[in-house]
Amino acid sequence: MQYRCPVCEMEMPRDLLVVIPHTEEHIVDIIKDKHPEWVESNGLCKKCYEHYKQQLHPGKE
Ligand SMILES: [Zn+2]
């Protein structure tokens, strides 16, 4: 069963779905800023998660 990431709209296997942990809720704010229609419980793909995490901590790998 495929999962469509609501952020980048790419389809991918469901096991690449990431639900953002509560400790990372500032990432949620960044995503909602760019995707106001996105709902936290929808999750997002690992790629998007890494992307926004990187924005939050620029310069860190
Ligand atoms: Zn994505």
**Amino acid 20: pLDDT:** 93
How far apart are the CA of 60 and the centre of ligand 1, in A? 20
Q: Give the per-residue pLDDT at 60.
A: 60
pTM of the full structure: 0.84
Return the amino acid letter for 21. Answer: P
How far away, in angstroms, is 25 Cα from ligand 1 center?
Answer: 17
pLDDT at residue 61 in the model: 57
Domains of the chain, by residue range, sit at 2-56
Intervals of the chain under pLDDT 50 = none
The alpha carbon of 56 and the centre of ligand 1 are apart by a number of angstroms equal to: 16
CA–centroid distance, residue 27 to ligand 1 (Å): 14
